[in-house]
Amino acid sequence: MINKKAVEWSKSALIVILSASALLLAWRSGLLNGFINDFPLIGSFPGFVQSAVTAGAEKTAGVLEKEAARPLTIVITDEEGARFGIKYDTDLRDIVYDRARSVLAEALGSMSDISRVSEQQWRSSLSTAGIYFEYAAPVRLSVLDGWIFASTPDIGTDVLVRRIFVTFGERRNRLYFQDYESGAFFGADTASSAGTAQELGMIGDNGARFAFEMDLEASENAPYMLLMQGNAHPIVSSDTVGSADELLEISVNVFGRRGEPNITDYDALGTLVCIGTEFDISVFPEGRVLYRRTVGQTAAGESQLLSESETLEQARVIVADSLGVTAGDAEIVFESFYYDPPVSGTAYSSDFETHMTASVTFGYYIAGGRVNMAAAEHAARITFSEGIVMEAELNFRNFAITDEDIWILPEIQTFAAAGGEFMLCYSDAGSELLMPAWVKI
C-alpha cells in the first residue's frame, strides 16, 4: 500500500507507470508504446528491447518468457533513500523487471575485483540508490548468466546467490551479493553505467523496509526479509486442466517421444497409461503425470555431459512447455537443484558433476505467494542421469487471480508473531477458491 509520499508523487502525469491496472490496460491497447520510453526509470536503460507484456489467461511461462529467472521481489531505492518494493503485484514486477534486467546483466557481465565485504557494508549499501533482486531459491551466478543473457566473468560464477543488489554511482555501479552457502557477503566493481541516481528520482516510497531496519526482536532471525505495508491479497481460483488424452499429448511432446511406437489404455483406476519401447507415461485423473525412461542412458549412446546450468535450463524448458502452457495466472518458479549423492562445497570437477543423478524442482507461484498442493510437494520434479531425463513428475493445474481481495494480518505484525521469516501461501487441496495465508518457513 502506497503511503502519503507516494500519493503526493502520484499526482504527477506519470502516475500511470506505477498503476498496474491502468498501465496494463493502456499497454494492451498500445497507447503506451511511445510514452513509456520517455519515463526515466522504465524506459531509458540502454540495450532494452521492448517486448509485449501479457497477463491473465494469456500469460504463460512458455516460449518467450523465462519465468523461472524472474525474482519474486524487486526493491528500488533512490538517492534520497525513498524505497519502492514490489513483492506481490506480479504484473507490476514483470513490467519493472523487463526493463531493469539489463542493469543486472550489465553489472554481472562487467564485475571485477570481487572481494569479501562486512555484513555492515552490505546493510549500508541497501540504503543507497540502486535496484535489489531477490529470488525464490538460491541459484548459481552461472545460471543467472544464461537466463538474463549476461556474460559473467569466470570468477565467482559458481557462487550460489539468492539476493543481489546493484548500486548506482556517479561513474560506475557496484554489485553486492550474499553467498548462500557460506553466508558471506561480497562486493564487486562494475563498468556498467546503465542506471543513475537521477533515473530513480520519481519512484516515491511505499513503505517497504528490510527487517533489520526495524526495531523488532524477530529481525535477528531474518534481517533481510522485505516487509511491506498493506494486508489485502487476492483470492485465487484453481481448476484441473484438460483431459488425460490432452495431457498425454503435451507430455509425449516435451519428453521427445512423438512418433515412437506405444500402447495406450486406461487401467482399472482411471489412469491413462502409455507404454513405449523405451519409456512409460502415466496420466492420473487429478492431472498428475509421471514419466519414466525404461532403458539405460547408454543404451542408444545418448549420454550427455551437461553442466549444472545446462541441466537446469533443460528442465526449465520442459516445464515451461508443459505446465507453463496451462498454468494461467500462475508462474512456474525454480525452487531447488540437488545431486544424489550430495556434493559438498562448490569446487567439484565438472566431470564428476555431469555423471551424477541430479533433480530439479519447480513450484507454482501466484500473486507473490507459493501454491502448496495437498497432492504434491512440487509443481514439477525432473531427474537426470548423465544428462538424460530419467524420471519426471508434472502436476497440471490452472490458476486465476479473482477480482476479490481478502484482508489478512499485516506483514509487520505477522513477522513479529512468527518470530522470523514466513511467506504468503495458497493451499490447493482441490477446492475451487484458494485463500491467502502466512506460512512460517
pLDDT (average), residues 355-383: 92
pLDDT (average), residues 35-40: 32
CB 39 within 8 A of CB 17: yes
Distances (CA, A) of 339 to 165, 279, 305: 29, 23, 15
Q: Is 217 helix (H, G, I), strand (E, B) or coil?
A: helix
What whole-number distance in Å separates Cα of residue 232 and Cα of residue 408?
6
- Give the closest residue to 321 by CA, choosing from 218, 402, 252: 252
Place of cell 525454480: 334
Question: What is the pTM for the complete model shown?
Answer: 0.80
Residues 6+ apart with CB under 8 A from 295: 278
Question: What percentage of the chain reaches a pLDDT higher than 70?
Answer: 74
Question: pLDDT at position 149, please?
Answer: 66
For residue 253, is pLDDT > 60? yes
Question: pLDDT at position 357, please?
Answer: 87
For residue 52, is pLDDT > 50? no
pLDDT tens digits along 216-231? 889 999 999 999 998 8
pLDDT (average), residues 248-252: 96
What whole-number distance in Å separates Cα of residue 273 and Cα of residue 280?
7
- Give the closest residue to 313 by CA, choosing from 90, 155, 160, 148: 148
Q: Is 349 helix (H, G, I), strand (E, B) or coil?
A: coil
**Dihedral angle of Cα 259, 260, 264, 269, to the nearest 10 degrees:** -110
Encoded amino acid at 230, one letter: G
Give the residue, 19 or 414, on which the prediction is more confident: 414
User: In this predicted structure, which of 135-149, 187-201, 303-317 has the lowest mean pLDDT?
Assistant: 187-201
What whole-number distance in Å separates Cα of residue 266 and Cα of residue 273?
6
| Complete DSSP assignment for 371-408 | EEETTBS-SEEEEEETTEEEEEEEE--EEEEEEEEEE-
Strand partners, 13: none
Residue 418: its H or E element? helix 411-418
Residues 6+ apart with CB under 8 A from 52: 27
For residue 310, is pLDDT > 60? yes
